[in-house]
């Protein structure tokens, strides 16, 4: 896994692409001075406007290094929140099945500071999404709480969706609007996945810093 990460590091440096460790990979580097033993994969983040450039560079690399492949790109599978750079040199077992070891590559947007009220609304909706996700995975959630708060939560969800699509993404300090990515809400509602798609043209400009 370290060699796979070193290869990504080399490609990012060769192409002047910024990236950083994320999630448990970052935690392992700081707390354990290496990988967390029970962690089955790596995670990195890339600025959204450089994400597709990195995917393209990795795609080219895979034509030379046949041990690696892009899970979604090379299997014609819609991407979720991230692409997976996988290697045939590392095989992991889960539920009796083998799958390739991989690195999660997640695009990240740079945003301006928002006011506390919007911050609170985002946290509120995020907690609702999380509780719903937990419920889907079999964890018990207080039904009285759900019944009492479902209506207001759905209102907040709608407000959140409107804010995300018409304010948040358009105000992203993304070093250029043309490569900005957005969530496709229809795919999210139907499949509980988030697909990355090019942002439609907008007359609103984005500051570059």
pLDDT of res. 23: 78
pLDDT of res. 105: 84
pLDDT of res. 144: 60
CA pair distance 142, 151, nearest whole angstrom: 15
pLDDT of res. 16: 92
pLDDT of res. 28: 77
pTM: 0.50
Report DSSP letters for 151-179, one per residue: HHHHHHHHHHHHHIIIIITTT---S-STT
pLDDT of res. 180: 37
pLDDT of res. 177: 37
pLDDT of res. 13: 93
Around 157, how many Cα atoms within 13 Å sit in the side-chain half-sphere? 14
Ordered mean pLDDT values, 10 residues apiece, the chain (209 residues)? 84 90 78 73 83 86 80 57 71 69 78 60 55 51 57 63 58 42 34 32 33
Strands (E), the chain: 20-21, 42-47, 68-70, 83-94, 97-108, 181-183, 196-198
Report the DSSP pairing between strands 68-70 and 97-108. Answer: unpaired
> Taking Cα atoms as reference points, which of 129, 45, 38, 125 lies closest to residue 83?
45
pLDDT of res. 10: 92
Sorted by sequence, the CB contacts under 8 Å of residue 136 that are 6+ apart come out as 192
pLDDT of res. 54: 87
pLDDT of res. 148: 59
CA pair distance 189, 63, nearest whole angstrom: 36
pLDDT of res. 201: 31
């Amino acid at each position: 896994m370290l060699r796979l990460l070193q290869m990504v590091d080399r490609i990012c440096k060769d192409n002047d692409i910024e990236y950083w460790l994320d999630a448990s990979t970052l935690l392992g580097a700081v707390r354990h001075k290496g990988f967390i033993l029970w962690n089955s994969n790596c995670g990195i983040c890339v600025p959204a406007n450089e994400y597709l450039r990195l995917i393209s560079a990795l795609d080219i690399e895979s034509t030379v290094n046949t041990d690696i492949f892009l899970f979604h790109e090379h299997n014609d599978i819609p991407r979720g929140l991230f692409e997976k750079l996988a290697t045939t040199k590392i095989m992991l077992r889960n539920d009796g099945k083998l799958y390739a070891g991989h690195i999660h590559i997640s695009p990240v947007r740079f945003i301006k500071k928002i006011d506390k009220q919007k911050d609170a609304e985002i946290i509120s909706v995020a907690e609702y999404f999380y509780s719903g996700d937990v419920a889907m995975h079999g964890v018990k959630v207080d039904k009285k709480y759900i019944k009492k708060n479902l209506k207001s939560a759905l209102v907040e969800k709608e407000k959140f969706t409107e804010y995300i699509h018409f304010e948040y993404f358009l105000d992203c300090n993304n070093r250029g609007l043309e490569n900005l990515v957005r969530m496709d809400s229809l795919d999210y509602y139907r499949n509980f996945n988030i697909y990355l798609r090019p942002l439609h043209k907008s007359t609103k400009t984005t500051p570059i810093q």
